[in-house]
Structure 1
């Protein structure tokens, strides 16, 4: 639980003019906080300019996809103990900024692997610096390691069940769990009457050589990569496909498998990251496989079965599709559970372990 007062401001750090799953989730959070009367603001970071630590004011920081969420933005953060700063796990510098030292800090773990993907190169670069040992003694730089986050008294929000498990394993203070939801515009484009083709779709960016081995073991199957397509083309190809295959690593609740499920595709997936948890992807285990050589014949057989008997297999994904249809309702409930509006005299910051 995170208590908020009538004069509490919640600042949400977000990349400027950047459209992907993470920024949309951040805007969704701001939108629903404002719906419940909490003063939430986006605080945009120009990612290609953050080393210079200056604001770019000549360009609108709000991406056109997110204007509909109607979350105002600010260029300054008031350094007051009643306020909170929410930042994704990939940008932790503000947590150690003296200019906002009084503000409560919250990390929203939209991804697990992206945290380490950002942190480890920073650690290597810092250690290679010729002045490393002097800085370590005189003015050590905070890099956002898990131990540093504990020392800084940071609260954490889980996004996926996978991230919740990760936070618990490392003894971090979890204030709650809030996922995201698929934009309702996407549901409106799902056409259940669209003729399905005997084709399998996949994201080549998220998959590696293992998928190529599956493709080689599936002669005669039409494999269609989802790459270099407009959003409209992605919608069309998902509407007309029977199967979506994904053996990539799932750092969080990935959007493309959810989109494919909404478009009534059977899902054949691996067990890496959040994909291994029923709580994150509630599909029958018959469609979930270990990413290993001996699994390839069974994977190929299941893909063939889904293509040949699509009408038999697709109802097995109805539960997951219904969960996706209700994600926004669940999101609003989670926001209400985590952010609790309190009377003035009863406001106290959460006790940190």
Structure 2
């Protein structure tokens, strides 16, 4: 009922029926966001922050090789999946947006942005979105916001995004979100944020899409937390590359990748532990021992896990070597 009451104030009593029919069951997601495509990699992303719980489940939509959509303000959530389907059917971002708005009687309280896999950009800010509201487009991207504290939010996002060229797309999106906060952000404050990144080409397996899907559903500083999670994601990318190197017997590369991960999170026991296991499996017990010792000292459960690994085929060492590891103090 709060959502309807606010909308009635915006639209006026003559629009009461409009508000009740089109807004009663729709999410109230006033926010700022960015949709963008990296012309070098083809990757596409949506970044968003709002004073609303779990904004990433409402605003952000994307599909590899197709495009990305941000639907916000008085959200028409169907714009996400329907917009992507229109892109899959061959429509450009602008054509898809026109079709979506044509069938929506609530278009004047909507804010929508689309980037397709060819880099086409389309954005709509309804005339009755709550001030300050607006958008700004650039090459392969659009920034948009509504119910902002100042009208400098979306220009600040655009400026920050353009000045961060050369960085990976996900990091550039975070920089744009940080700029929005510095310019005042959502007039109500902050609560949740999300980052969605999809590949430029269709993926073979649907479960590999999206490539990055990070959400902060409820936090006092969601953009900062989202930035931290992206750093964790990058560290585990190095761990995964290390695992792949181990599979092909490239120990030098494996340890290099593990080292990069640990340099990002030096106190992460998980990263230290599997580095030690890899060393042990490659007959480098003496190098593994001090790492095992350090991990065991922090948490005895890792010692018990080590005892169980041989039965699972994950620790292939001699019995006396296993005993030596388990006896570490």
TM-score of Structure 1 vs Structure 2, range by shorter chain? under 0.3
Larger helix fraction of residues: 2
- State TM-score, norm by structure 2: 0.27
Bigger relative contact order (CA 8 A; separation at least 6): 1
- Larger-gyration structure (1/2): 2
